[in-house]
Amino acid sequence: MEDMALVRKHELPGAPADIDERVDAILNRYSGERRWLINILFDIQAEFRYLPRDALEYVARRMAIPQVDIYGIATFYKAFSLTPRGKHIITACLGTACHVRGSIGVLEELQRGLNVKPGGTTEDGSFTLETVNCLGCCAQGPMVVVDQEYHGQMTPAKVRTLLEDERKK
Amino acid sequence: MQVRRGIEEVIPTVNMRINDLDVMAEEGQTILEVCKFYGFDIPTLCWDEGLSPYGGCRLCVVEIGEGKNTKLVSSCTYPAQEGLIVRTRSKRVDHARKMVIELLLARCHTSKVLQDLASQYDVEQVRFPLKNDDCILCGLCVRICKEQMMAEAIGFVDRGKDMKITTPFNDKTDTCRRCGACMYICPACQARCQGPDVKDPICNGCLSMSPTCLDFYDDAQCFMSESACGTCVRERKKEEVSKKEV
Amino acid sequence: MIQMKFKTSKELEAHRSAVLKAQDPKRKWISFCVGTGCIASGAEKVAAAMKLELKKNGPKGVQFKETGCPGFCERGPLMVIHPEGIFYQNVKPEHVHDIVSRTLKKGEIIKELLYIDPSSGKQVTNEKDVPFYSKQKRLILGNNPLVDPTNIDDYMAVGGYTALGKVLSEMKPEQVIEEVKKAGLRGRGGAGFPTGVKWETTRNAKGAVKYIVCNADEGDPGAFMNRSVLEGNPHSVLEGMIIGAFAIGANEGFVYCRNEYPLAVKNVTLAVQQLRDVGLLGKNILGSGFNFDMSVVRGAGAFVCGEETALMASIEGKKGVPKQRPPFPSQEGIWGKPTNINNVETWANVPFIINMGAEAYARIGNKTSKGTKIFALVGKIKNTGLVEVPMGTTLKEIIYEIGGGIPNGKKLKAVQCGGPSGGCIAAANIDVPVDYEGLKQYGAIMGSGGMVVMDEDTCMVDVAKYFLKFLLEESCGKCTTCREGIERMLEIVTRMSEGKACLDDIALLEELANVVKDTTMCGLGNTAPNPVLTTLRFFRDEYIAHAKDKKCPAKVCKALISFNIDEKKCTGCGACAKRCPQSAISGENKRPHKIDQKKCIKCGVCESTCKFGAVSRR
């Protein structure tokens, strides 16, 4: 185990030194079976706000799953992020109902206001802009969610107000 | 009905009808394996005899069923079943194969394997902007690395149109032993006669798939000059060949 | 709350009687929706305010129940005051004080909170008189507003687990399968396969280990039927699953719920734990000798995992890449074992079939499609929300009589049914009955129940572009025809929306769409061309307008339109100019403003800012 720690070559900005211990704590909540892999990745993401490379490599070693397999799963499922996300997640819904009510204009305004593309994080690390393909709040569309707060009936104009309010906080 | 193989092994069989011929197949075989046994030719790209089937390229599609209930399925993955009716070539099958070839050419036109398939299936135009990718995502390299070389150093990453084949984190890796099996089996890696710098997405279509220039010259001309000999050129029926590059 | 495990169905019934006895039918209680949709409208703040107000000034003994989604999302937050059934809509925190002091204490109706029926113009006081509800047949959704999803007693009070008790004490597995077959239940996930037959095939498959799965990966954008049922009344689904597991002979089950529904995941996980606590999950359920338990598995952001084989791969901890069928899941599923997968709504129908009997159930609906179906009616419609009607109800009835028609005086153009796998039904054809067979003649499917209503301001080429973009992102990438084909179709449609296409492109699009449909392996890819093919079939003139004339008749495609200020309507307030990100609007105070077309990026901020309707599209 100690050899593995010495062989670590990749240090992402902010990857903590105790990463192995924290990942161990998560792995110990489950049996070593493959079926828990996605749960484990969710827990790691909740712990670090993203999936650090070191964590993924560690999981691969401990669960005896090939590295490329874990990396494939982490990139296949869009709920996972391999880059650190911002303190606040702004999610724009692009579902059909929101679309016919003009969600594209809302998204474009968010992109302009935050100066990021969907999936990206602002330079100061405060906001990550994401899109989702339906939240199930179709009556209140177009929808924008900031962390757990839902904002309905958004328009490009309301987006400008929302961003101003969020920045003030 | 059963077939005895060796002293102890007894394999159940199923009866099928392929191209109007009644055949017997072993349970557990795929339509492709049965067809190969009986000598029915089916083109493949992502299939290899020594590897598990993938069913991704869609070139090996055949038509099953009859009357109103027919559909196209990939013969490399569809299991042989009792009473299955199969046609390995039909208007529908050929139309599908042509489009598959056209889509793959639009993605990666520098592969001789794809160009030969285009000649075989009369694909004479590529109506989509060229992507100039060097991979057709057939996955043969992934499977040979895992199943024959026991390394699993490369794999599919991401999904949909962003999907690619690479190492974990796109980084150098010691899991890869540099054996070269992936390059060996890759269909896209086989360069076209004219070399890798061709602009034309469809080559000049030598119908017999062997160079006709040797009838007139001592050396094969494609390698010597920029297709200046013209012995393999045939009349193009359609005017447009390609759109601007992406 | 229940403290002990039920060891027999008698104990279960005894507890139910106790719960009902403690509930005086004449008691005052409030039903308040806290489904995700109403939360988006601010329901949490209202609930907090109400709880505080009841504590401070409320009459004693009034129960405030936070319930599941009743489906009338357009009017949320929704509150019903029992026993009278007074229906209040658009409730805000500032109304709470009056509701308590006037309605609860004095029985006074607050007129401003009543629903006004748009067709009659009259105010409606009672929940049962609201036309949106009364025209539906709310077999499944009807229980949502009566049940607090975190309280199993509420479910028992409306008859929950009666069916399970009956099945485990009086019926054999084969009898249960026969009942479900006789009832004619067909899968509600979209394919419509006869459920009883699927159960029977799984039961008869080789092997002692079998699994059942609830597919709650509702990924169709614009569909939220499953979300409401799973969030609002998770026990109704779980009861169906335990009955199904018994009939099939499965001892382990999974609920696969998409990650984007955190409240549904939370509530169903809680419900599963409650069932373990009372002995309805675990060993020897109700003394029948039947062992069964289940776990909740989260999706991870992949629409393709709604496809059965991809879903099973995901449960196994692998990538959600679909596999060739046959073998079908009923024969070889999770870890190679026979697996029965059904949709949330399918499972929720099972207890009703057992309780009312197959014959009574089969009388609802029509010859080919039995029972009710929940639809998500969204888009350009007055009453957005969930609608539950008998199978065979016409699209026209759903849109006009229940949906209230199209808002803002616009004309109906099309209804997109069945999500990305479905197609658009043109306005001229809405007399079609909605069931498993009726929509097929128009190249569409009922699917899982999504209905997106589109009016004259919707561009059908844009709709096709939207679905292709969605499907391209969600494609697993295996099949050439799906991965490359959808991308190339999207390229063509995008060029059309930018005025860069020609007539030949329409023929190429159609040819490509047909090959993708014919040749791709899984349900995502081989139905991906449906939105394109149905819009080409019924709205070809729009495609021609884009390709040949470079015009967008609905004025949606940005490259083909311009934003303009009507001088006669413009008051010169300058609000639009202040908000324009390109500073493209100029004008003096109180004089008509003008948009510099060279600078305009057509973002639409001016249009949504203007209070005078002076900004329009050409």
Query: Per-residue pLDDT tens for C249-273?
Result: 999 999 999 998 999 999 999 999 9
A151 has pLDDT over 60: yes
pLDDT tens digits, C74-111: 888 999 999 999 999 999 999 999 999 999 988 899 99
Please indicate, yes or no, whether residues B190 and B117 belong to a single structural domain of this protein: no
Angle at A26 between CA A25 and CA A28, to 5 degrees: 70
Predicted local confidence at residue A156, as pLDDT? 86
Minimal Cβ distance to C481: which of B73, B100, B137: B100
Domain count, chain B: 3
Start and end residues for every CATH 3.40.30.10 domain found in chain C: 26-133
pLDDT digits (tens, 9 = 90+) for C501-517: 999 999 999 999 999 99
Supply the CATH number for residue B35's domain: 3.10.20.740
* Residue span of the structural domain in which B218 resides: 140-245
Q: Among A67-71, B188-192, C271-275, C549-553, which stretch is predicted with the lowest mean pLDDT?
A: B188-192
Residue B207: pLDDT band with limits 50, 70, 90: low
Assess whether pLDDT exceeds 90 at residue C119.
Answer: no
Burial A82-96 (b: 16+ CB within 10 A, else e): eebbbebbbbbbbbb
Which subunits have 3 or more CB–CB pairs within 8 Å of chain B? Answer: A, C
Above 60 in pLDDT, residue C348? yes
CATH number of this structure's domain C372-455: 3.10.20.600
Per the domain annotation, does A81 fall within a domain? no
Per-residue pLDDT, C74: 85
What are the tens digits of pLDDT across the range C376-432? Answer: 999 899 999 999 999 999 999 999 999 999 999 999 999 999 999 999 999 999 999
* Architecture of the domain delimited by C460-549: Up-down Bundle (1.20)
* Residue A83 forms part of a structural domain: no
Q: Does B160 lie in the same domain as B235?
A: yes
pLDDT band at C574 (very low <50, low <70, confident <90, very high): confident
Segment C344-356 mean pLDDT: 97
Please say which residue of A50, A76, A102 terminates a domain: A76
Bond prior to C326 in cis (omega within 30° of 0): yes
CB-count exposure of residue B17 (10 Å: 0-12, 13-18, 19+): middle
Of A10, A57, A68, the CB nearest to B167: A68
pLDDT at A10 over 50: no
Mutation for B interface: C324, C470, C490, C505, most B CBs within 10 A? C324
Percent of chain C residues past pLDDT 90, beyond the cut: 81
Same domain, B94 and B72: no
- From chain B, which residues contact A within 8 Å (Cβ)? 152-159, 167-169, 171, 173, 175
State the CATH number of the domain containing residue A141: 3.40.30.10
Surface of C (106-145) touching A: CB under 8 A: none
Could you give the dihedral angle defined by the CA atoms of residues B42, B44, B50 and B52, in that order, rounded to the nearest 10 degrees? Answer: -110
Does the pLDDT value for residue B203 go beyond 90? Answer: no
Domain boundary among the residues A29, A48, A76 is at A76
Looking at the structure, do residues A9 and A71 belong to the same domain, yes or no?
Answer: yes
> What is the per-residue pLDDT for B217?
74
Q: Which residue has the higher pLDDT, C323 or B196?
A: C323
Nearest to C477 among B59, B128, B163 (CB): B163
Domain match, A96 and A70 both: no
Calculate mean pLDDT across residues C58-66: 90
Cβ separation B106–C326 shorter than 8 A: no
Q: How much is the pLDDT for A6? A: 35
pLDDT tens-digit series, residues A60-113? 999 999 999 999 999 999 999 999 998 899 999 988 888 878 888 899 989 999
CA-derived radius of gyration, chain B: 21
Same domain? For B79 and B11 the reply is yes
Query: Which part of chain C is CATH 3.10.20.600?
Result: 372-455
Distance from CA of B216 to the nearest CA of C (A): 40
Q: Are A95 and A52 in a shared domain?
A: no
What pLDDT, on the 0 to 100 scale, is given for residue C563?
92
CATH number of C562-617: 3.30.70.20
Q: Supply the range of the domain harboring residue A97.
A: 88-168
Mean pLDDT over C587-607 rounds to 88
Whether residues A12 and A43 fall in one domain? yes
Which of B79, B95, B158 lies at the smallest CB-CB distance from C515?
B95
Q: Residues B158, B235: one domain? A: yes
Residues A123 and A67 in one domain: no
SS3 state of residue C213? strand
- In this structure, are strands C29-33 and C63-67 parallel, antiparallel, or unpaired? parallel
Distance CA B23, CA C275 (A): 54
How many Å apart are CA B67 and CA C124, to the nearest integer? Answer: 56
C166-225 pLDDT tens trace: 999 999 999 999 999 999 999 999 989 999 999 999 999 999 999 999 999 999 988 999
Strands (E), chain B: 2-5, 9-18, 21-26, 61-66, 69-74, 85-87, 155-157, 164-166
Per-residue pLDDT, C40: 86
Query: Residue C515: which of B71, B96, B128 has the nearest Cβ?
Result: B96
Alpha-carbon distance of B15 to B32, in angstroms, equals 15
The amino acid at residue C83 is: P
Query: What CATH class does C160-362 carry?
Result: alpha beta
Q: Percent of chain C beyond pLDDT 70?
A: 100
- Which residues of chain C lie closer than 8 angstroms to A99, CB-CB? 221, 466
Instruction: Give how far A68 is from chain B: nearest CA, Å.
Output: 5
Residues of A in contact with C259 (CB under 8 A): 42, 79
Question: Mean pLDDT score of chain B, rounded to an integer?
Answer: 86
Considering chain B, what percentage of its residues have pLDDT values greater than 70? Answer: 83
The model's confidence at residue B205, banded by pLDDT at 50, 70 and 90, is low
> Residues spanned by CATH 3.40.50.11540 within chain C?
160-362
A93 and A25 within one domain: no
Domains in chain A, number: 2
Domain C26-133: what homologous superfamily? Glutaredoxin (3.40.30.10)
What is the model's pLDDT at position C265?
96
Average pLDDT, chain C: 94
Question: Taking 70 as the threshold, does the pLDDT of residue C466 lie above it?
Answer: yes
C608 contacts chain B (CB < 8 A)? no
Stated pTM of the model: 0.92
| Over residues C516-543, mean pLDDT | 96
Residue B160 sits in the same domain as residue B68: no
Question: According to the model, what pLDDT value does residue B74 have?
Answer: 97
Is the separation of the CB atoms in C295 and C272 below 8 Å? yes
Any B CB within 8 A of A66 CB: yes
